[in-house]
Amino acid sequence: MVRTINRPILIPWSDNTVRILDTTSALPLAYVSLGLRRVYVENMVRDQVIGLLNAHVSVSTGLWRIPLPGDRPEQPLIPGDTSREFEVAEIWDWDLKADPTEGDFRIMAGAGVRTNIHFSCQPISGKEEWYSAGPWSVDQCDPSLDGACREDFQQVGEGIRYTDRNCSRPGETVGFLTWVCRGPPIDLVTVP
């Protein structure tokens, strides 16, 4: 099964980065906010999420120690390492409409599905700008499938920002962020 994104909803992220909006309305089983240093979790699947995140729950503080993207599996989770310690809150306390922070990750019900992203001259919300990017191939969680999968909010590649509606004048290079199942995106231009 392969999904295609060729008419994404684009929203500004920073001066040189654009967010490809995730149109999934499903509530995650867990959401790890790097910005707030908090993990939001559905209580009924708490034990499953601890396993999926490879988390250690401190008996004395109640904090969850969670390995971050790029950590080696054998790397110990040291008490007091604030970059890996998170307060726990109910998933219902998480604001579904809040913008993620780059590096946030979540556990979604569903399974990873190959998603091809490629678009040309698409408008962005709230600005007189148009964008072209891809082709990239990433895995994203599909909530219609059984299982659970982890998605990281990360950069998937670079594209071009145009100031003319026809995208015919030279543009500027910008980065694109979206939710991706763990692992680097595959650039379909350079991979045979």
Q: Are residues 90 and 37 in the same domain?
A: yes
The predicted pLDDT at position 88 comes to 96
Q: Are residues 81 and 137 in the same domain?
A: no
Q: How many other CB atoms are found less than 10 A from the CB of residue 134? A: 23
**pLDDT per residue as tens digits for the range 103-122:** 899 999 888 999 999 999 99
**pLDDT per residue as tens digits for the range 151-164:** 999 999 999 999 99
Residue 49's domain comprises: 30-95
The predicted pLDDT at position 138 comes to 93
**pLDDT per residue as tens digits for the range 132-153:** 999 999 999 998 888 888 899 9
Q: Are residues 112 and 173 in the same domain?
A: yes
Give pairs for 58-65: CB < 8 Å, separation 24+: 58/85, 61/85, 62/87, 62/88, 63/87, 63/88, 64/39, 64/88
Half-sphere exposure of 10 (CA within 13 A, CB side): 29
Q: Are residues 35 and 83 in the same domain?
A: yes
Mean pLDDT across the chain: 89
Does 102 map to a domain? no
Q: Which is nearest to 38 in space by CA: 97, 111, 101?
A: 101
Does 100 map to a domain? no
Q: Are residues 113 and 161 in the same domain?
A: yes
Q: Are residues 87 and 111 in the same domain?
A: no
Q: Is 144 left (phi over 0), alpha (psi -120 to 50) or beta?
A: alpha
Q: Are residues 77 and 149 in the same domain?
A: no
Number of domains in the chain: 2
Task: Give the percent of the chain with pLDDT over 90.
Answer: 60
Q: Are residues 120 and 183 in the same domain?
A: yes
> What's the predicted TM-score (pTM) here?
0.86
Does 179 map to a domain? yes
Does 101 map to a domain? no
Q: Are 86 and 32 in contact (CB under 8 A)?
A: yes
Q: Are 149 and 111 in contact (CB under 8 A)?
A: yes
